Amino acid sequence: MKKYGKFAFSLAAAFLLTAQPAFGAEPAGNVSAKAGWHKTAIVRTAQEIATVGLGPGETAAGAEKQAKETPAETGQPAENPLPETEQPAGNITPGSEQPTESITPGAEQPTENLTPETGQPTENLTPETGQPAENITPKTEQPAESDVSETNVSSPVIEAGLSRQNNPENNTPSSAGENGQPEDSPQEDEEARQAEEARKAAEEAARQAAEEAARQAEEAQRAEEARKAAGRAIDPARPMVALTFDDGPQPSVGNRIMDCLAQYNGKATFFLVGERVPSYAAELQRMVAEGHEVANHSMNHKYLQKLGPAEIQAQVNQCNDIIEAACGVRPTIMRLPGGNHNATVRANTNMPMIQWNIDTLDWKTKNAQKTINSVLNSVKDGDIVLMHELYSQTGDATMYIIPELVNRGYQLVTVSEMAAAKGYSLEAGNLYSSFR
C-alpha cells in the first residue's frame, strides 16, 4: 500500500497539470482565490485516487491500518515513517506563495492531520466545501480506541485523557490539607478512637483487678484472724487465770516464757517499761504476733504518787508512744510501778489500772520453787498473778507453773480476755485486782 500511496500522489500531481478543466478554470488575478482552488483540487484528487489498488470491500482506513501492522520489506515495523528522500514541504502549496497547513503533493502526509479513510486534514477543511472547519468532525468512520495511540492524533482533549489514564495517581483525590500535610481519613480517626477506648478499658480492668486483689487479701486476713480467734475461744464456764510479767522486756526470760506458753496454747500479759523497749523491739513484735498482750508500766518506772499531774501524764503517754512505735500496738491498760497510787494518780493516768491478787514476791526471793508454791497453793478462777520478767528464776518457775495450771483445767488468758469473759468493762481511772 505504501508503494501505491506514493504512486497515487505522483499521479495526482500530473493529473492536476492536465485536468484543470475538470475542476473549473483556475481563477486569475487574486492570489488567495488561486490558493483555495489548488487546495480544493488536491483534496478531491486525493479522494479519487485513495481507492486505487484496493480490493473489493476494502477501505482506505483498513488498508492504512494493515500497512501499519505489516512489516516492511526490511522486516521492521513501519509506524508513520517519512521517506528518506521525501520530506514535507513545509506549508507552501505548489503554484502559490501563500502558506497553507496542507502537505505538498508527492510527499507522504502526516497521519495526525488526516482522517483514517480520506486522508483529509481534520482541522482545516470540510470534506464537502473545502472551507476551514476547526470544530467540525468529518462524517467518516471513527478509529477504534486502540487506533488513537497508533495514528498519533494530536488533540488537547485526547492527550489530556490519555495522560490521566496512564497516570493513575492523577485520578486519586488529593488528601492533603491546606498546610500541605495529609489529613486523617475517617477510617484513621475511627481506629485512633478505638485504640484510645481499648487503652482506657485496659487501665480500668487493671484498677479493678488491683482493688479485687486487695479486697481478697483483706478477707483472707480477716479469715485468718477469725480462725485464730476461734482457736482462742474463751469458755466463761471454765476456770481461767491471768499470768502477768512486769519490768520487761527481757528477751532471755521473756522468750522462754513465750516458748512454754506456745506449747500449751496459753497467753500472758507483759507490762513493759518504756525506756527498755527500743533495745528489745523484736521481743515486743513476737509478743504481738503470738497473741500476747503488751501493756504500760510507765516510761521510767517512777512511783507516780510522788509526781504531779503533768509528770504522771508524761510517764504514761511516752510509754504508750514508744511501745506503739516498736510493735504497732498501743496499750489499753497499765500497771502502776509498785502498785502505788493516790487520787492524783487515778485522775491523770487516763487508763484502766491493773493490780493483782497473787503476789509471788519473785523479785525478792529470786527462788523458783517459792514462786511455784505461791501460785499453785492459792490460785483460783479469775485470779491475776504478779511475776517479773527480769529474773531467770521466774523463767524457771513458769516452766512448771504453766503446764500444771493447764493440767488443772485453767485457761491461761490475758487480762483483757479474762475481763471480757467475766463481763467486766475496763474503765480509765479504775483499779482492777482480779475478776473473781
**What is the pLDDT at residue 185?**
78
Could you list the residue range(s) of the whole structural domain that residue 323 is in? 237-432
Q: How far apart are CA 277 and CA 285, in angstroms?
A: 11
408 and 304 share one domain: yes
| Catalytic residue of the set 246, 247, 362, 383 | 246
**Active-site annotation holds for 297:** no
DSSP bridge partners of 385: 243, 358
The per-residue pLDDT for range 170-196, each reduced to its tens digit, is: 444 444 445 555 566 788 888 898 999
The CATH number covering residue 428 comes to 3.20.20.370
| Confidence at 397, pLDDT banded by 50, 70, 90 | very high
What number of CA atoms fall less than 13 Å from residue 148's CA on the CB side?
A: 11
3-class DSSP state for residue 432?
strand
For the chain, what is the total number of helices (H) and then of strands (E)?
15, 8
Nearest partner of 130 among 190, 196, 212, 41, judged by Cα: 41
**What is the pLDDT at residue 183?**
62
The per-residue pLDDT for range 362-396, each reduced to its tens digit, is: 999 999 999 999 999 999 999 999 999 999 999 99
3-class DSSP state for residue 42?
helix
Q: How far apart are CA 428 and CA 285, in angstroms?
A: 26
The pTM assigned to this predicted structure is 0.51
**What is the pLDDT at residue 221?**
67
In the predicted model, is pLDDT for residue 301 greater than 80?
A: yes
Residue pair 409/238 in contact (Cβ under 8 Å)? The answer is yes
Dmax over CA atoms of the chain, in Å, equals 170
Over the chain, what is the mean pLDDT?
A: 75
Asked whether residue 324 is domain-assigned, the answer is yes
Asked whether residue 181 is domain-assigned, the answer is no
**What is the pLDDT at residue 34?**
60
Max mean pLDDT range (26-30, 54-58, 139-143)? 26-30
Indicate the DSSP class of residue 339: G
In the predicted model, is pLDDT for residue 336 greater than 70?
A: yes
Indicate the DSSP class of residue 114: B
- Which among 161, 179, 203 is the end of a domain? 161
Split into its structural domains, the chain has a count of 2
| Catalytic residue of the set 292, 301, 388, 396 | 388
- Which among 144, 161, 178 is the end of a domain? 161
- Which among 145, 161, 177 is the end of a domain? 161
Q: How far apart are CA 270 and CA 398, in angstroms?
A: 14
3-class DSSP state for residue 352?
coil
**Active-site annotation holds for 359:** no
Q: Are strands 358-359 and 293-296 parallel, antiparallel or unpaired?
A: unpaired
User: What is the rounded average pLDDT of the residues 263-285?
Assistant: 97
| Confidence at 427, pLDDT banded by 50, 70, 90 | very high
The cell for 386 is: 504478779
C-alpha separations of 345 from 296, 318, 330 in Å = 14, 16, 20
The per-residue pLDDT for range 193-250, each reduced to its tens digit, is: 899 999 999 999 899 889 888 877 776 665 555 555 555 789 999 999 999 999 999 9
Neighbours of 420 (CB within 10 A): 16
